[in-house]
Amino acid sequence: EDQVTQSPEALRLQEGESSSLNCSYTVSGLRGLFWYRQDPGKGPEFLFTLYSAGEEKEKERLKATLTKKESFLHITAPKPEDSATYLCAVQAGNNAGNMLTFGGGTRLMVKP
Amino acid sequence: DTGVSQDPRHKITKRGQNVTFRCDPISEHNRLYWYRQTLGQGPEFLTYFQNEAQLEKSRLLSDRFSAERPKGSFSTLEIQRTEQGDSAMYLCASSKGLGGNTGELFFGEGSRLTVL
């Protein structure tokens, strides 16, 4: 069974204080690993897809990396508007329907 | 607006009543998914359609839940005889099928259900 574990569950940062979020996974042949951002009361918003170990993707202050067992979302010099829950999800290679299995998320709070 | 649209955004009902949610996916997407999310948790897969065919259902989808996508466009999720444990955010997502599918799902804003 595919499993995704995210840590920490919650993270408080001061504005400008860089940090990383972790996503550990077990999956039957990884087709893709996805990062989403979710604001309170809203649906998840797609950020990145990573397909193979060693791959990196960047968007503004966010950078996602992937190894064979985990992914990191690095946040450089965060701003208060980066406050949100960040969700990691995996898609298995034997999954014909492209369903995603999500982790529990990391709730990020950035204080000014 | 070309995103995934869900209606209603909020629904409050009494235990035992039936509720129905509607999802309009991105127009060129032929795959449609329903997920459920409770407070502090990640979304959990419920069911998936390719065009009008319902191809997979989770064990989470009890027989009180039924989903349809009659013409391969919009979809409905009905919950019969609601229970307090059904209170959650119901999320709809869509994606392209084979040929141009890079895997990501695009989510709507969700329909929040509160069962009193």
Distance from CA of B16 to the nearest CA of A (A): 25
| In the predicted structure, residue B101 carries a pLDDT above the cut 70 | no
Q: Is B40 helix (H, G, I), strand (E, B) or coil?
A: coil
pLDDT digits (tens, 9 = 90+) for B37-67: 999 999 999 999 999 999 889 887 889 999 9
- pLDDT over 90, % of chain B: 74
Nearest CA in chain A to B108: A43
- pLDDT tens column, A20-56: 999 999 988 888 999 999 999 899 999 999 999 999 9
Q: How far apart are CA A17 and CA A12, in angstroms?
A: 10
- Amino acid B93: pLDDT: 95
User: What b-and-e string marks burial along A61-75, b requiring 16 or more CB atoms within 10 Å of the CB?
Assistant: ebbbbbeeebbbbeb
- For residue A55, the distance in angstroms to the closest alpha carbon of chain B comes to 15
Residue in A79, A56, A100 with CA at minimum distance from that of residue B106: A100
- CA distances in angstroms from A31 to A91, A103, A110, B37, B38, listed in the order given: 5, 16, 32, 23, 26
Max distance between CA atoms of chain A, in angstroms, equals: 44
Residue A98 has its nearest CB partner, among B31, B40, B107, at: B31
CB atoms within 10 A of CB A32: 22
**CB within 8 Å: B42 and A99:** no
Per-residue pLDDT at B115 exceeds 90: yes
Tell me the per-residue pLDDT of A53-96, one tens digit each, with 9 for 90 and over: 999 999 999 999 999 999 999 999 999 999 999 999 998 877 66
For residue A79, the one-letter residue type is K
